[in-house]
């Protein structure tokens, strides 16, 4: 088994690029590359100040793969996204999913770049669960160019067949969650029991999704 890496209980401070990265992005050979970023765990790490040299680095990134656990990590101070999970676009890709992103925190990320968030997800990931995370104080700074597409939880295009539940976001520039258009408009994502509060521009934004938003999801206005 090529995966099965574990990065646990470390402290990363003043990192030139990202703190943790498992896997490689690719538009081709995604099935082969997914073998290197499956069955891995990133647990209990503390990350403070990344992207000191390479500004477009995400603090914690795991790329195409399945059966990964990202849990109990804390990220603060990053120029781009805090967590990034998955990076594949083929709708028939069968080696992504069943990832768990839980009990994490990220704040004061997206301090320089746009088009990201506390958590950024891309790809068809059936069975993936995002739950009990806290993302806060992700707002534009004077250095952001431009100051848009800055979200708490960002399910970008092709994000599909995931559950987002029991999360808390507050003081987010564009809003607590972004649900971008999935391939062929078939998002099939479930968002329930979350609290999205004090978004600067809005609380929730979605486009052509088949979305299940349960009543207990809270959308608070500023």
For residues 174 and 158, give the distance between their C-alpha atoms in angstroms, rounded to a whole number. Answer: 20
Please check the confidence at residue 135 and state whether its pLDDT lies above 90. Answer: yes
In the predicted model, what is the mean pLDDT of residues 156-170? 91
Hey, which bits of 114-209 come out as E strands? 116-121, 124-131, 134-138, 150-155, 160-165, 168-172, 175-179, 189-192, 195-197, 204-206
**Which helix (H) or strand (E) is 78 found in, with range?**
none
Least confident among 25-39, 41-55, 136-150? 25-39
Q: Render pLDDT for 84-103 as a digit per residue (tens, 0 to 9).
A: 998 766 666 677 889 999 99
The closest alpha carbon to 112, from 138, 137, 84, 140, belongs to 140
3-state secondary structure of 5: coil
**Residue 85, SS3?**
strand
The residues that bridge with 124 in the sheet, in sequence order, are: 160
- Residue 71: pLDDT over 90: yes
At 177-210, the pLDDT tens digits run: 998 865 555 578 899 999 999 888 877 777 654 4
Closest CA to 133 of 45, 92, 194, 201: 194
Return all residues near 120 (Cβ < 8 A) that are at least 6 apart: 58, 81, 83, 84, 85, 154, 156
pTM of the predicted protein model: 0.88
| Helix H or strand E segment including 7 | strand 6-8
How much of the chain is helix, strand and coil, in % rounded to 5? 5, 40, 55
């Amino acid at each position: 088994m090529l995966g099965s890496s574990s990065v646990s209980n470390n402290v990363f401070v003043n990192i030139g690029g990202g703190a943790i990265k498992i896997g490689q992005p690719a538009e081709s050979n995604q099935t082969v590359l997914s073998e290197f970023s499956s069955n891995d765990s990133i647990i209990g790490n503390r990350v403070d100040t990344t992207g000191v040299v390479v500004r477009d680095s995400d603090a914690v990134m795991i790329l195409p793969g399945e059966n990964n656990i990202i849990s109990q990590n804390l990220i603060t101070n990053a120029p781009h996204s805090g967590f990034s999970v998955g990076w594949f676009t083929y709708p028939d890709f069968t080696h992504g999913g069943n990832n768990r992103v839980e009990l994490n925190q990220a704040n004061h990320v997206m301090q320089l770049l746009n088009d990201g968030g506390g958590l950024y997800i891309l790809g068809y990931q059936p069975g993936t669960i995002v739950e009990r995370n806290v993302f806060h104080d992700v707002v534009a700074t004077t250095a952001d160019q431009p100051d848009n597409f800055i979200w708490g939880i960002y399910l970008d295009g092709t994000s599909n067949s995931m559950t987002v539940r029991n999360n808390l976001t507050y003081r987010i520039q564009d809003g607590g969650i972004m649900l971008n258009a999935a391939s062929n408009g078939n998002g099939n994502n479930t968002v329930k029991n979350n609290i999205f509060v004090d978004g600067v521009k809005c609380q929730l934004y979605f486009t052509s999704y088949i979305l299940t938003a349960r009543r207990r999801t809270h959308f608070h206005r500023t």
